[in-house]
């Protein structure tokens, strides 16, 4: 009797699917972060951050994607993306990244499940 096991092919297919969904979710988070920032931004300096978002593949193994605002590849002075997110002793916080990540948590789970169900 012979059993032919194509486990590697299944795993590779799953990896490709998960990678694509990861990128899609990262783009969703970025879009929501921009939308939230656009709602909260009051000054031209704050709205200027809208053009400084990008999504990048993590360099770490199985690290997924990183959503940057004023990351090393795309930023203009003044540097203040993190100050806006976290707040400072002078300025009220206007979080936009964390709400966007949280908002997409449930839909990300659904997307991963749906993609794996189709395998």
Q: Which residues are near other proteins by CB under 8 A?
A: 86-90, 92-93, 95, 98-99, 102-103, 106
Residue 51 to residues 42, 55, 68, 81, 117, Cα–Cα distance (Å) = 15, 12, 11, 12, 36
Of 18 and 99, which has the nearer Cβ to other proteins?
99
| HSE-CB of 64 using CA atoms within 13 angstroms | 10
Q: How far is the CB of 96 from other proteins (least distance, A)?
A: 10
Of 3 and 92, which has the nearer Cβ to other proteins?
92
Of 1 and 92, which has the nearer Cβ to other proteins?
92
Distance (Å, rounded) from C-alpha 9 to C-alpha 77?
A: 47
């Amino acid at each position: 009797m012979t059993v032919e096991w194509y486990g590697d092919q299944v795993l590779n297919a799953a990896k490709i699917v998960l990678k694509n969904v990861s990128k899609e979710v990262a783009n969703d988070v970025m879009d929501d972060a921009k939308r939230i920032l656009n709602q909260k931004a009051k000054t031209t300096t704050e709205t200027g951050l809208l053009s400084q978002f990008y999504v990048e593949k993590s360099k770490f193994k199985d690290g997924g994607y990183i959503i940057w605002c004023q990351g090393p590849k795309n930023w203009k002075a003044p540097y203040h993306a993190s100050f806006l997110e976290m707040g400072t002793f002078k300025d009220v916080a206007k979080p936009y990244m964390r709400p966007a990540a949280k908002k997409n948590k449930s839909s990300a789970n659904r997307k991963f499940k749906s993609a794996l169900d189709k395998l």
